[in-house]
A and B are shown apart, each in its own frame.
Chain A
Amino acid sequence: MSALLEVKDIKKHFPIKNDAVFSREKRVLKAVDGISFSVKKGETLGLVGESGCGKSTAGRVMLKLLEPTSGEIYFKGENITNFRGEKLRKLRREMQLIFQDPYASLNPRKSIEKIISEPMKIFNIPREEREKRLDYLLEVVGLSAYHKQRYPHEFSGGQRQRIGIARSLALDPELVICDEPVSALDVSIQAQVINLMEDLQAEFDLTYVFIAHDLSVVHHISDRVAVMYLGELVEIGDAQEVYRDPKHPYTQALLSAVPQVNPNEEKQRIILKGDLPSPQNPPSGCKFHTRCPFAEEICRTSKPSLRKASENGVMAACHFVKEVVEA
């Protein structure tokens, strides 16, 4: 299988406005600071990390909703980094976004029918086909045809998220980036929406990049996971393996926080000290060294790169992970 989406060393730095009018000093917030990975067709890549680590920004850069500061994005082998205007608009047909907040992501002044058919209207799909597709989409996301004339405020959070999903599927995209699609929902509704998304993946042959901070959800839906810390990837690999045997100390700490189903099972909880450092002024060397229980001198001075940490290709960025050398 070839890579559907590949990002190479993408960075997104936001300039910070200075209070002093005449100050020439320019500061930047490094939301995403050089991440690379690829997503294969049909798989689900989970992107996890704590709040503010740049997950959502990374997702928006991949879709080119934000311009990357540097780096390259390849979609189906084509470099889309410099796509603009009409070319970029055409590309939108193939990559879509599902939003976190189902209350904010639907235009309150449009009916469900208009919201879901809008993408098809934009791409000049004939009316009859639009209507047919609309009914079909409503059905597969679990809404009824008589909901068409309603407005978003008449629906519950879970229903709104279904509407958002239907909209993103209207153009039959190949890649869907899900930006914390269930974190705003009740736990009971979360399961429904997750199951729906899995069904839809099979039905429409979708590739997901699933951004979340809920580790159990990511474990459930992902084939591979990528763990982010302060705008960088610290670990990426097969989901089962990463969850069973995390290599990077940060991943270990994150996973130790997941509640256990079996109360008898002994588990060591790794509590991280301190807060997430500011991305405006990230630590030197390994960005995690300020909170890492194993940090040594080398971590303060030298930045570890992603290295192969297991036979199955799990990669981790830590000085103390034993590199597996290929035979």
Chain B
Amino acid sequence: MAIQPNPVTDPGIDAVDKNVQIKGQRLWVDALTRIIKSKTSLIGLCIILLLIITAIFAPIIATHSTTDQSIVNRYQPPSSEHILGTDELGRDIFSRIVYGTRISIQIGVISVGISLVIGVLLGGLAGYFGRWVDQIIMRIIDIMMAFPSILLAIALVAVLGKSLTNAMIAVGLVGIPQFARIVRATVLSVKETEYIEAARSIGAKHRRILFQHVLPNSLAPIIVQATLGIGTAILDAAGLSFLGLGAQPPTPEWGAMLSDGRAALQTAPWVVAFPGLAIFLVVLGFNLFGDGLRDALDPRLKR
């Protein structure tokens, strides 16, 4: 005997149809509206977009080669020929900064990628399984956090050998604790929800619960941390390059440019001023945007 489909239709069914286009993207749509409404995060977003555009169209924007030297033209102040002046080898600083955005974005994305993958995995495992797994992972994280991050990065590069790739790896590893802690905290709260219990009650395995139910619902703080982390990573990598442990000459990396120019700080301040300004601007952009994103994704602020 087959029963009729339930004859009582829910009166809410028609109301649902009006929202067809919204789908599951609501959270992100809301967040974007709130970011655009907030001035500071909009400024951050603009800086990031400018950075990305500069990186993509670097060959068009740059006025000179980044490596061509001209001893005659060394330490030229900003002029119409060299907008931001030249460095001690007569290279055009503007072009080097423009190409440097490519390297900075690369550093930001790759290092944060490393910390994100490892950090989310460790934090997720610690938060989800708890008990001794949590204890072991979080104590290791505590040890990592006990070192000043730049010092730990220097130590790692010293072990790995100095190169831009190794600097990115070092900065990535140093960023792991931040991610692990944030993810662990979020997972702890998400795993207590009823839909996680529902997943357990339908016989889902741990891997499925963690990757399909817990982590997708812990995304918002991870994204915020990633955005803020890119700024920090660029800054850390610039620090390493400044110490000569990151990008090697003649790579137009901002930190390395600072380092090269510091000898002439008194006579040709533009050599260090402009790469420094570039670092400042980019880190500021990511921080403003990250802060805005954190506010925008905070469910408690929903109006």
A contact residues vs B (CB 8 Å cutoff): 63, 65, 89-90, 92-93, 96-97, 99-101, 104-111, 118-119, 122-123, 139-142, 144, 147, 149-151, 153-156, 158-159, 162, 164, 167-168, 170-171, 189, 192, 195-196, 199, 202-203
Q: What distance in Å separates the Cβ of B198 from its nearest Cβ neighbour in chain A?
A: 5
7 A-B residue pairs with Cβ-Cβ distance under 8 Å, sorted by A, are: A96-B202, A97-B201, A109-B216, A118-B202, A119-B203, A142-B10, A196-B6
Q: Is the CB of B6 within 8 A of A119?
A: no
Q: Is the CB of B202 within 8 A of A167?
A: yes
In the complex, how many residues of chain B place their beta carbon closer than 8 angstroms to a beta carbon of chain A?
34
Q: A107-B213, A123-B203 are in contact. List 14 more A-B contacts (CB 8 A).
A: A89-B205, A90-B203, A101-B194, A105-B197, A118-B202, A122-B203, A122-B204, A155-B16, A156-B10, A159-B16, A195-B6, A202-B3, A203-B1, A203-B2
Residue of A nearest to B19 (CB): A154
What residues of chain A lie closer than 8 Å to B24, measured between beta carbons? Answer: 108-109, 111, 151, 153
B9 interface residue, CB < 8 Å from A? yes
B contact residues vs A (CB 8 Å cutoff): 1-3, 5-6, 8-10, 12-13, 15-16, 19, 22-24, 26, 193-195, 197-205, 208, 212-213, 216-217
Q: For chains A and B in complex, what number of residue pairs have CB atoms within 8 angstroms?
A: 112
- Within 8 Å by CB of A142, from B1, B8, B22, B200, lies B8
Residue of B nearest to A153 (CB): B26
Q: Is the CB of A107 within 8 A of B217?
A: yes
Q: Is the CB of B15 within 8 A of A156?
A: yes
- Within 8 Å by CB of B12, from A123, A144, A159, A164, lies A159
What residues of chain B lie closer than 8 Å to A142, measured between beta carbons? Answer: 5-6, 8-10
The 10 closest A-B pairs by CB, nearest first: A142-B6, A156-B12, A92-B203, A119-B202, A104-B194, A105-B194, A151-B24, A107-B195, A89-B203, A139-B5
When chains A and B are docked, how far (Å) is the Cα of A155 from the Cα of B204?
25
What residues of chain A lie closer than 8 Å to B197, measured between beta carbons? Answer: 65, 97, 99, 105
- Within 8 Å by CB of B16, from A140, A150, A189, lies A150
Q: What distance in Å separates the Cβ of A17 from its nearest Cβ neighbour in chain B?
A: 14
What residues of chain A lie closer than 8 Å to B217, measured between beta carbons? Answer: 107-109
Residue of A nearest to B26 (CB): A153
Q: What distance in Å separates the Cβ of A147 from its nearest Cβ neighbour in chain B?
A: 7
When chains A and B are docked, how far (Å) is the Cα of A93 from the Cα of B204?
11
What residues of chain B lie closer than 8 Å to A100, measured between beta carbons? Answer: 194
